[in-house]
Amino acid sequence: MIKLSNISIGYKKESPISTGMNYTFEDNKIYGILGASGCGKTTLLRTIAGLTQPLEGVVTIADDKKPYMMHQKYTCFDWLNCLNNIMIAEKVLKTGKLNVEDARNILARVGLEEHEKKYPHQLSGGQKQRLALARTLFVKPSIILMDEPLSALDELTRIQMQDLILKTHRETKNTIIMVTHSREEADKMCDVIIELEQFKREDK
């Protein structure tokens, strides 16, 4: 459970992007965040992740769970090959569960099984995005924050990755908060859709 208590988001107190936000994200659901460019979608995710402090109010995350954020400018570690780009997630989190076969399996599920020895500079933009998605799903976090996670993909690959995210969600029963510019994607994937500019929700 993630609770927003009267938070204001932004980077300058005198000019907040959005104010007075009160909301509770329930466990085991996928939330879609929609809105025009500049309305604060990414800033909201960063605030929930703790990367940006709210200008006012409090973000409370039950059970001290740590959100895992997949950024819009997806991160790849250029000095590591694809397989080690997956494995580093466990090293950073210090879980002690380094499993090469699991890492290879998630690479296969995103269609990169033939690229495990390649480095990010040898990949296309869509392949890099799939690599970042693979690393996120490999960790199996209980809370995932996704900022346009499929924006660089062609239509067929995008559909395949949507299905993979949904399948992983059903398996792990995690909570996903996903920013997307696609209403069609939100309708397919999300239990709740939030129009950020009005901060209204649509339950299914």
Range of the domain at 14: 1-67+141-204
For residues 167 and 204, membership in a common domain is answered with yes
Report pLDDT digits (tens) over 86-110: 888 666 555 555 578 888 999 999 9
List Cα–Cα distances, 177 to 76, 120, 174, in angstroms.
21, 26, 10
Say yes or no: 35 and 117 in one domain: no
Among 36-40, 120-124, 172-176, which is the least confidently predicted range? 36-40
Asked whether residue 134 falls in the same domain as residue 149, the answer is no
E strands present in 27-164: 30-34, 56-61, 68-70, 143-147
pTM: 0.88
Q: How many domains does the chain have?
A: 2
Residues 47 and 4: their CA atoms lie apart, in Å, by 10
Contacts of 122 (CB under 8 A, 6+ apart): 115
Question: Are 114 and 163 part of one and the same domain?
Answer: no
Q: Are 150 and 179 in contact (CB under 8 A)?
A: no
Looking at residue 176, what is its pLDDT? 97
Residue at which a domain ends, from 140, 166, 190: 140
Q: Could you tell me if 57 and 149 lie in one domain?
A: yes
Q: Exposed, middle or buried by CB within 10 Å (0-12, 13-18, 19+), for 141? A: buried
Q: Is the pLDDT of residue 55 over 80?
A: yes
**pLDDT tens readout for residues 109-135:** 999 999 999 998 999 888 998 999 998
Computed over its alpha carbons, how large is the radius of gyration of the chain? 17
| 79 and 23 together in one domain | no
Q: φ and ψ at 13, to 5 degrees?
A: -60, -30
Quick one: 28 and 128 in the same domain? Answer: no
Residues 117 and 154 in one domain: no
